[in-house]
Amino acid sequence: MRLNPASHLAGPVRWALPGIGVLALTACGFALMPHLHFPSWMSSTALVTPNPNGRLARLLREGLSREGIRVVHPRAPHGASLVIFAPEILSRVIAVNGQGEPAEYLVSYHVHFKLERGPQTVLGPSAIRLASGHDLRIL
């Protein structure tokens, strides 16, 4: 019987995926769920992001720390790397008033990320997308 070489990662990936999703949503403004269980190899995780001092990076560091994960500099020894690609904020006019001025917008926030364990990509690249409508009508 031939074994799948990635089968030993099935358990850790199953637990890492919801954890990363919750942390990314937390960084976007959602409340973090009760204590999560991350694989032991994530106990020391490097956060790789284009803006390490930005709001998203700060919120991810805080969320990971609350869950018992030590966030380290990418050059320091670590078991996992959470790579955040440039987040995108997109807005689109979805309604105009009688004068042709924007009356309603759709704003969406996209975060693209991947999780690595050494040289191997364990999760991703994946994306989390949030959208919100904004009505500009004066009451």
Question: What is the residue whose two structure tokens read 């994946």?
Answer: 126
Instruction: For the chain, give the mean pLDDT.
Output: 80
What pLDDT, on the 0 to 100 scale, is given for residue 34?
A: 59
Q: Which stretch, 17-21, 71-75, 85-89, 129-133, has highest mean pLDDT? A: 71-75
- Using DSSP, state whether 89 is helix, strand or coil: strand
Please state, in angstroms and as integers, the Cα–Cα distance from residue 80 to each residue in 50, 110, 115, following that order.
Answer: 17, 22, 7
CB 51 within 8 A of CB 16: no
Q: Which residues pair with 117 in a beta bridge?
A: 120
Q: Which CATH superfamily is domain 7-135 in?
A: Lipoprotein like domain (3.30.160.150)
Q: Percent of the chain at pLDDT above 70?
A: 71
Q: What is the DSSP letter of 125?
A: E
pTM exceeds 0.85, yes or no: no
